[in-house]
Amino acid sequence: MSFVRRTGKRATPMSYLLRIDSSASGGSSFSRLVADSFTDAWRGDIVRRDLALDPVGHLDAAAITARTTAPDEHTPEQKASARLQDELVEEFLGADAYLFAVPLYNYSIPSVFKAWLDHVMVIGRTIGLGGAVPSAGRPAVIVSARGGGYGPGTPQHGKDFLVPALETIFSDPNLMALDVRTITPELTFAPVMEPLRHLLPQHRSSLRESHAEARRQAEDVARVTAARATA
């Protein structure tokens, strides 16, 4: 995890945008590049967690049972799991807004992002299931690049199992209840896969629109968070 502050300090800010990256492609990731357009336009503090560089372990028995076992009865494994969970949950709840860069991998969510989600989704802390939801109404932007096209009329339409799942998890009023906006740069395989070369113009257009939308969303999210802070 790294902290990004425009002041150059390395302390957790009082309020911040939480950016989560999950692409394994490094600097060539289109999800990261579009998310960069958002953060370049952001004027506040940013806390960034890169799950590709610093992944969290998948949820295991110790992590699950630590949630329902009294702290003074925790095994060493449960204590370690509880510490990680507390860190991730507190980091999530401390944010005023969210930016999730999550590419579509094999029609679904990258495993590193799913592992992070499984640790963060805790009944009574981050999800309500009928109770209060601490993050309710906070804005969140999902950037999900994909190699092909998944819109209506395309051969892949209906095969995107990432955006529907994340929009449900993040926006459902009984779960995290966030105000979710989604950006989906498409046809990212067009520059590198010969069968998709004829779709390069559509890819370039989608990418331009995604970068522009990311900048627009940064401005809008900033207005929303400012209004919520003064309400």
CA angle 28, 34, 39 (to 5 degrees): 115
Asked whether the beta carbons of 213 and 144 are under 8 A apart, the reply is no
For residue 226, the domain's CATH number is: 3.40.50.360
**Which pLDDT tens digit goes with each residue over 177-227?**
999 999 999 999 999 999 999 999 999 999 999 999 999 999 999 999 999
Q: How large is the average pLDDT for residues 5-20?
A: 66
Give 128-189 as a DSSP string.
-TTS--TTTT-EEEEE---SS--STTSTTTT---SHHHHHHHHH-TTTT--EEEEE----TT
Burial class (CB in 10 A: 0-12, 13-18, 19+), 186: buried
- Tally of domains within the chain: 1
The residue with greater pLDDT, 128 or 55, is 55
How confident is the model at residue 231, as a pLDDT? 77
pTM of the model: 0.92
pLDDT > 70: percent of the chain: 94
What the block records as the tokens of 178 is 């966030």
> Which of the four pLDDT bands, split at 50, 70 and 90, describes residue 56?
very high
How confident is the model at residue 13, as a pLDDT? 62
Q: Where are the alpha helices (DSSP H) in the chain?
A: 30-41, 61-66, 76-93, 111-120, 163-171, 200-230
Asked whether the beta carbons of 200 and 158 are under 8 A apart, the reply is no
What the block records as the tokens of 103 is 């590419």
Q: What is the span of the domain harbouring residue 134?
A: 2-230
pLDDT > 90: percent of the chain: 89
How confident is the model at residue 143, as a pLDDT? 98
